[in-house]
Amino acid sequence: MNKQSKIQMLMLAAIASIGLSAPTAFAQSTDVVVDGKGVVPYVIDSRNVVARSGTGLCWRTGFWSPAAAASAMAGEFPAGCACDSDIVPKDKCEKMAAAAPMAKPAAPAPKPTADKVKLSADTLFDFDKAVLKSAGMAKLDELAAKSKGVKLEVILAVGHTDRLGSDSYNQKLSERRAAAVKTYLVSKGIEANRVYTEGKGEKQPVTGDKCNTVKNRKALIECLQPDRRVEVEVIGSK
């Protein structure tokens, strides 16, 4: 199996289980380039650079584990030193921290860019539905057009629901919403293998406790609209 095939398999594994890991301050100032050997626990692009979210967090694949984070190498240090410094043993990363100020500047290279777009519930989905509304399609049209202006690496679509209904039902509903976004983006010319989907169910609401005192069901459904969303993130380089 050649390196490119291995990269593709690792990125496809992210469909099943994509997570975020917190970077250190050092990691935020430089790319993390893995050697591509063995199990790579993070999503990587065509340059073997670990893909990050708009806030600088490393995207984990389904192969991620504390052991993999500590063994996948980025130069002479584990990749986890940059992405999961709270998990990787400190002795493996101490030299990295000490060497950072003395490191020679890397040759100029295209910097990854992340353009995060949050698609609000009232423009995407009706209550208990996973069918795109026309206003939501318009927003995705804009996103698809925008993505053509960068060297696209990954599009991440994460579906969410409100808290009404069971956990298991909402998990599946959030996955269907993310899948609906992927299907539409593919219909607009985005390569299917560039779009990864994940459902978070009701676990990450944005309404907080502001709807807790709403008793009328219709009013509650309206209040919880912001939670019924899909967050889409484009990662690429200009």
pLDDT higher at 116 or 159 = 159
Strand pairing partners for 117? 232
Please indicate, yes or no, whether residues 31 and 123 belong to a single structural domain of this protein: no
Of the candidates 102, 128, 156, which is a domain's last residue? 102
Please give the average per-residue pLDDT across 153-180, as a whole number. Answer: 92
- Please say if the pLDDT value at position 157 is more than 50: yes
- Please say if the pLDDT value at position 195 is more than 80: yes
Structure pTM? 0.56
Tell me the residue range of the domain where 165 lies.
112-237
Which percentage of the chain shows pLDDT scores above 90?
Answer: 25
At residue 110 the predicted structure's pLDDT band, cuts being 50, 70 and 90, is low
pLDDT higher at 50 or 62 = 50
Please indicate, yes or no, whether residues 231 and 151 belong to a single structural domain of this protein: yes
Q: Which two three-digit tokens encode residue 31? A: 């790319």
- Please say if the pLDDT value at position 99 is more than 80: no
- Cα separation, 48 vs 32, whole angstroms: 8
CATH code, domain with 151: 3.30.1330.60
Q: What is the CA radius of gyration of the chain?
A: 19
Give the closest residue to 38 by CA, choosing from 84, 1, 12: 1
At residue 111 the predicted structure's pLDDT band, cuts being 50, 70 and 90, is low
Q: Establish if 154 belongs to a structural domain.
A: yes
* DSSP string over 157-196: EEE---SSS-HHHHHHHHHHHHHHHHHHHHHTT--GGGEE
